[in-house]
């Protein structure tokens, strides 16, 4: 189950998905870079990990009411709250494709709310 809502008061901006076909909470990649050195070796810099590098993908059949709510959040809000099994996150909907009652959406995560 995943819930997406507006970060401010908005009675039209709250949606709960409990029967999504696919819900993939992207991995949390490390901020790692490698630079070649003149002696033929390399230097690796590990900058840690951040929830801000994660992407959530959701896909599944939705109702007309859910479609209206997710379109509103996508088109009329800057930030959304995303609640799922891994916690509460602030992010933005970067992609929202609804075709014949089937949703494919991508949410870019800004931060995890502790």
Residue ranges and CATH numbers for the domains of the chain are 2-113 (2.40.30)
Q: What is the pLDDT of residue 11?
A: 73
Residue 70: partners with Cβ closer than 8 Å, 6 or more residues away: 4, 15, 62, 93, 96, 98, 103, 105
Q: What is the pLDDT of residue 74?
A: 94
Q: What is the pLDDT of residue 21?
A: 67
What is the mean pLDDT for each group of 10 consecutive residues in the chain (114 residues)?
A: 86 79 77 95 94 90 91 92 91 95 93 91
For the chain, helix, strand, coil in percent to 5 are 15, 55, 30
Residue 67: which H helix or E strand, with range? helix 64-76
């Amino acid at each position: 189950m995943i819930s997406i809502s507006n970060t401010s008061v908005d009675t039209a901006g709250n949606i709960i998905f409990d029967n999504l076909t696919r819900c993939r909470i992207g991995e949390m990649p490390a901020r790692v870079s490698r630079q070649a050195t003149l002696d033929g070796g390399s230097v690796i810099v590990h900058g840690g990990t951040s929830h801000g590098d994660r992407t959530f993908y959701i896909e599944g059949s939705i109702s007309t009411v859910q479609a209206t709510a997710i379109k509103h959040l996508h088109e009329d809000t800057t930030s959304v709250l995303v609640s799922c099994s891994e916690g509460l996150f602030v992010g933005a909907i970067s992609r929202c494709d609804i075709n014949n009652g089937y949703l494919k959406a991508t949410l870019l995560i800004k931060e995890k709310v502790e």
